[in-house]
Amino acid sequence: MGKTEGLEQQETQQADHIWCTSCGQILPKESVYCEFCGSRIEHELEKASAGGEKQPEKQKSDSAYRTAYRIEYRDEEGGFGFLRRPGWKKAAAAGMMAACGLVLSAVWVSGRQAGEKGQPLLGYIKDNSLFVLEENGESREISDICLRDWKNREQLRLPEAVDWIPFYYEEAGALWYPEQVGDGAFSLMNGSGGNARKADSSAVSVQTAGETAVYEKANSGLYLYAGGRKKKLTAGAASYQLSEKGDYLIWQEEHLDQTTGLYGVSLDKKGQAAEEELLERDAEFLGASGDLTRILYKKEGELWLLENHSEKKCLAQNVNQVFLSGQEEKTLFFTRQENEGESLYVLSGKQAGNERTERLLDSEFLFLIHEEDGILIYKASGEAGEEIRIASSEAYAALDCNPEEEISVAVSGDYGWYLASPELGADQALYRVSLEPEQFGSAEQAAQQADRFCGQCGGTPFYLSDLYEQTGDLYFGEQAVSYDVKADSVWLEKNRDGEETDVYFLSDYDAQRESGVLTRYSGEDRRAEEIDGSASGYLAVSGELLYFTDYDPARGQGTLKLYEKGKTQEVDSGVWAAYGRNGDEAAFIRKNQAGGLE
C-alpha cells in the first residue's frame, strides 16, 4: 500500500482501530494479539485504577506501517552495527506520545532526517507565524503562513510524520521549514527571509541532506529538489531513504502488476541525479548503512546483503521473520519454520572466509511481543505451557509472570523492567531482570507496588504509584520524590554517556487549571529544583527547556518561557505550539503536553 492510500485509510479508521506494532496491520481497537502476525499488541504498562478504569501508559508504539532499522554490516569488525531506523514514508510517526485527550493529537517524537546531524533547533507557532530561537534566546520569524487554516487550527490535520518540523544544517547554511501545513501535507521551503524559496507544495514526507531534499507528494510520487530545481523520480515509491551525505538515494517501488523493485540512483555534489538502476526485483527492504553502501533485504525466503550497490551475499536461507534490534549490537535475529513450528536464530555476521555464522537460540518461539536495544521479548511454548521469554544474542530466559497477562518490558541501563502481579488478585509490582551476560534473566522485585515505570538512574527506578485519573505519586526507589504528578509529564534526561540522570515532571497538578509545578529532580544527588510554579507543558532539548505558563484554555494559547542552566527568560506570549529538533529526532507539543529529545 502506498503512503497516500495509507494516510486516507488511517484518517477514516483511526477512531475505531489500532495498528499492530510489529507488522503494521490495522486491527480492531480491542485487539490483544495481531490476527496477521500473532504479535501481542503493545498497549504498554497499565493498571486498573480505584474507579475501575485503566490508565494507559503513554503511547510508545511503532509507526502505523512497517518500518525497518538501518543496519551497518562491517566485515572487518565482524558483525552488524545497528543504527537508526530509516526515514520511510511512515517511519517518522514512531514514538508518538500521549496527546492528553486533545482534539489535536499532536505530540510526535522521533523520525529521521538523512545527512549530517543538524543543529539543535527550538521554535514555536504564534498567530500563524513560524519562529525559530537563536542561540541568544531571541526569536526570529521565518514564515507568516505556517498553517493552511489558522482559524480552524484546532481541527487541522497535521502531517503524520515529523519531517515538516524545521531542520537546519549549519555547515551548509541550509534551513528547511514548512508553510501552509494542513490536510496532512505542507509546502516545503528552503532558506529564510528574502532568500527563501519554495521547493514544492503538497509534500507529505521529506528527507534532507544539506541543500538536497527528497520528498513525496500526495498522489503524485517521489521528487528530488537540489540547486533550485526539482525532478520527479517515480510515481510509485512505497518507501525511500537518502544517504547521510546526500550522494545516494534508494527507494522501493510498487508496480501495477503487484511486483516490486528496489532502485538506487547516485547524486552529484549539486544534488543532480544520474540514471537510476534496478538493484533487486521483488525484494523486501530491511535496512541499510548510513551511506547506503550496505543494504539488507529479504527475497524469496533468503536474507541478502548488497554491498556497494553491486556485490550480493546470501546471509541465511529459509528465513521467515527478521528482527533487527538495537543500535550497538552486531547481530540480528530471524525465525525459521521447522519441525512443525518456528525457531529463533541469531546471525552474528562473523565470518570465516565467506561462511556465514548462524546459531539456533530457541526452538520454541511462538511470536514476538517487543524488541528494544538488542533484546527480544516473545512468547514461547515451554514444557509447562506457554511462557514469556527474554532473549539477547547469547541466551534466553523465562520471565516470572503470567503469560496471559499483558506485559511490556522497557530496556534501561543494565536491566529490563516490567510490571506484573506476584499472585492472582495482588497489586502490580515492578521487577527488574538483569541483562548482564553472567546473570542474564535473573529477576528481582524493584518496587512492591507500582503503576508505571518511568526510567532509572544507576539501577534505581523512577516509577509512579497510586495512579488515579491523570496523576500519581512519583518514587525513586523507596524514596517519595513528589505527589500528584501528572502521569504523562515525566521525562528523563540523559547525560553525554547516554545515562539517565535527571527527571522532569509536573507535580501538584491541577486538572481544571491544566497546570502544575515544573520540577527537575537529580537522581545522582537526590535533589529537587522548582523551575516554575505554574507550568502547563514543556519540551526538553539538549539541556534547554521550553515550557508553557499562564495558559488560557479558551484561546488555546499561553506564554512560552525558556529555561537553561538555572536561568529562565520569557520568549513570547500568545503562543499556540512549540517544537524542537535535535539531529534525527523532532517533537511538537501543544497545551499541557510534555516531552523531550535526547
At 232-243, the pLDDT tens digits run 999 888 889 999
Cα separations in angstroms, 166 against 113, 195, 205, 578: 11, 16, 13, 12
429-434: strand order across its sheet = 410-412, 415-420, 429-434, 443-447
With bands split at pLDDT 50, 70 and 90, how would you rate the model's confidence at 34? low
Q: Which of 225, 266, 232, 226 is nearest to 249 (CA)?
A: 266
The SS3 assignment for 292 reads coil
CA distance 122 to 240: 27
Straight-line distance from the first to the last Cα atom of the chain, in angstroms, rounded to the nearest whole number: 32
Average pLDDT score over residue span 444-458: 94
Q: Which of 145, 150, 62 is nearest to 408 (CA)?
A: 62
Contact by Cβ (8 Å): 519, 529:
yes
> What cell was used for 463?
516509577
Q: Which of 481, 573, 591 is nearest to 536 (CA)?
A: 591
Backbone phi, psi, residue 107, to 5°: -130, 110
CA distance 490 to 465: 13
Contact by Cβ (8 Å): 219, 237:
no
- Per-residue pLDDT of 560-577, as tens digits, reads 999 998 899 999 999 999
- DSSP state at residue 66: -
- Per-residue pLDDT of 309-349, as tens digits, reads 999 999 999 999 999 765 444 678 999 999 889 999 998 75
CA distance 401 to 308: 46
CA distance 488 to 99: 9
Q: Which helix (H) or strand (E) holds 483?
A: strand 479-486
CA distance 282 to 266: 21
With bands split at pLDDT 50, 70 and 90, how would you rate the model's confidence at 227? confident
Average pLDDT score over residue span 212-221: 90
> What cell was used for 90?
511512515
Average pLDDT score over residue span 476-486: 96
Cell numbers 507543558 label which residue? 537
pLDDT of residue 163: 83
Contact by Cβ (8 Å): 287, 86:
yes
pTM, rounded to two decimals: 0.77
Q: Is the pLDDT reported for residue 41 higher than 50?
A: yes
Contact by Cβ (8 Å): 260, 283:
yes
Q: Of 112-116, 220-224, 365-369, where does mean pLDDT reach its minimum?
A: 112-116
Average pLDDT score over residue span 258-274: 87
For residue 102, count CB atoms less than 10 angstroms from its CB and return exposed for 0-12, middle for 13-18, buried for 19 or more. Answer: middle
Average pLDDT score over residue span 8-16: 43
Q: Is the pLDDT reported for residue 103 higher than 70?
A: no
Contact by Cβ (8 Å): 37, 31:
no
pLDDT of residue 197: 92
> Of residues 508 and 93, which shows the higher confidence score?
508
Amino acid at 174: A
pLDDT of residue 339: 86
Q: Does the 70-95+138-317 domain belong in CATH 2.120.10?
A: yes
- DSSP state at residue 6: H
With bands split at pLDDT 50, 70 and 90, how would you rate the model's confidence at 194? low
pLDDT of residue 31: 55
Beta bridge partners of 416: 411, 433
Q: Is the pLDDT reported for residue 246 higher than 50?
A: yes
Q: Which of 123, 160, 113, 169 is nearest to 143 (CA)?
A: 123
Contact by Cβ (8 Å): 22, 370:
no
For residue 129, count CB atoms less than 10 angstroms from its CB and return exposed for 0-12, middle for 13-18, buried for 19 or more. Answer: middle
Cα separations in angstroms, 233 against 121, 217, 222, 226, 412: 30, 11, 6, 13, 42
Percentage of the chain lying above the pLDDT 70 cut: 77
